[in-house]
Amino acid sequence: MGGAIVEIECLCTGILFADVVCSPIPGLPEAGTLVPADTMQLSLGGCCSNAALDLARLGVRVGAAGCVGDDVFGQFIIDTLSRGGVGVGGVHKAEGINTASTMVINVRGEDRRFISSPGANHRFTVDHVPPAWIEQAKVLYVGGYLMLPGLENEGALEWFRSARASGTKTVLDVVYLGGEGCRRAVELLLPETDYFLPNEDEAAVLTGLSDPLEQAQAFRDAGAANVVITRGEGGCLMVGDGVRLRAGAYPIELVGGTGAGDAFDAGLMMGLLAGEDAAGCLRWASALGASCCRHLSATGGVFNRDEAEDFMQRHDLEIEAF
């Protein structure tokens, strides 16, 4: 394991990545040519890593659990999380496999491009999670599901079921890569999921539906207690028992979008831990997601707690019941 077991209130599990991110370039290089970038940086990536670090920045006692390789990138992830105040006692170094890594290619005026290796994430199972953390956590988060074959089984379902029975809120997010069985894998965990947080593109391919409300209802019909469909600049939509909300997006100067969905997840979990109602959770989620877009890396621009509270006081978020 990556370190001592500390007491936590939120358990973040799932994919751990090292990102190599370039500053925006004018265009992609032709074969055999080079395009210079002003900067190239190594930074934290992956839903679990990003959400955990974002929560620690908010002052939440959080632990991360996942798998890295026994290599330089793996140690970078462990060190970065640890320095950021995240418990790393659940980060396992797997032998004979590389740490997951992604090249994030930013082209001016275009959406990001990614070249990615899932690496050691494919080794992660429930057995890698410290039992004490499972008992302590008020919120259990799995980020990057569908890139975690070791969780697409009845053992993970029982994990979620046991967590909910003890009063823990379960939160699930996905990374859709295509392939057979994805919808079936998601539907396995939805009956024990309190909050399911796909973006509208992921929701479209998983349901075959284009309307966000219909997407949310399909996941609700499959068993999810609450569904939040994120829509980038279009805001988000939440559907749950007695809850139907549409939220806009906070104004922010866009520098990069990497990690914004993970920051949104962290904000929603912050709202849950703070005892916020549904609208309050969406405010926290939207504020954290917006703050992430101020930086090229996945975590460099994310608010701390004082910054987030000040931002929400100074800016209104349009939220309507429907």
What digits encode the pLDDT tens for the residues 25-51? 999 999 999 999 999 999 999 999 999
Dump the DSSP string for 68-80: EESSHHHHHHHHH
- Residues 25, 23: Cα–Cα separation, whole Å: 6
- Residues 87, 93: Cα–Cα separation, whole Å: 15
Q: Which residue has the tokens 């800016």?
A: 315
At 107 the pLDDT is 92
Fold (topology level) of 10-28+39-321:
UDP-N-acetylmuramoyl-L-alanine:D-glutamate ligase (3.40.1190)
The CA radius of gyration of the chain, in Å to the nearest whole number, is: 18
At 176 the pLDDT is 86
Tell me what percent of the residues of the chain surpass a pLDDT of 70: 98
Residues whose CB is less than 8 angstroms from the CB of residue 31 and which lie 6 or more positions away in sequence, other chains included: none
Question: Residues 237-265: pLDDT tens digits?
Answer: 999 999 999 999 998 888 877 889 999 99
Cα atoms in the Cβ-side hemisphere of radius 13 Å centred on 158: 6
At 3 the pLDDT is 66
Residues of the chain with pLDDT under 70: 1-4
Closest by Cα among 198, 167, 1, 197 to 82 = 1
At 259 the pLDDT is 84
- Residues 117, 113: Cα–Cα separation, whole Å: 14
Rounded to 5 degrees, φ, ψ at 209 are -115, 145
Closest by Cα among 183, 143, 140, 176 to 158 = 140
At 1 the pLDDT is 56
Pairing between strand 62-69 and 139-145?
unpaired
Neighbours of 20 (CB within 10 A): 16
Q: Where are the domains of the chain?
A: 10-28+39-321
Paired tokens of 292: 């992430």
At 47 the pLDDT is 97
At 112 the pLDDT is 83
At 96 the pLDDT is 96
CB under 8 A, 24+ apart: contacts of 215-223: 219/186, 219/190, 222/186, 222/187, 222/190, 222/191, 223/187, 223/190, 223/191, 223/192, 223/193
Q: Which secondary structure element, helix H or strand E, spans residue 146, and what is its range?
A: none
Secondary structure letter of residue 148 according to DSSP: -
Q: How far apart, in Å, are the Cα atoms of 269 and each of 52, 104, 158, 168, 258?
A: 10, 26, 22, 12, 19
pTM: 0.93
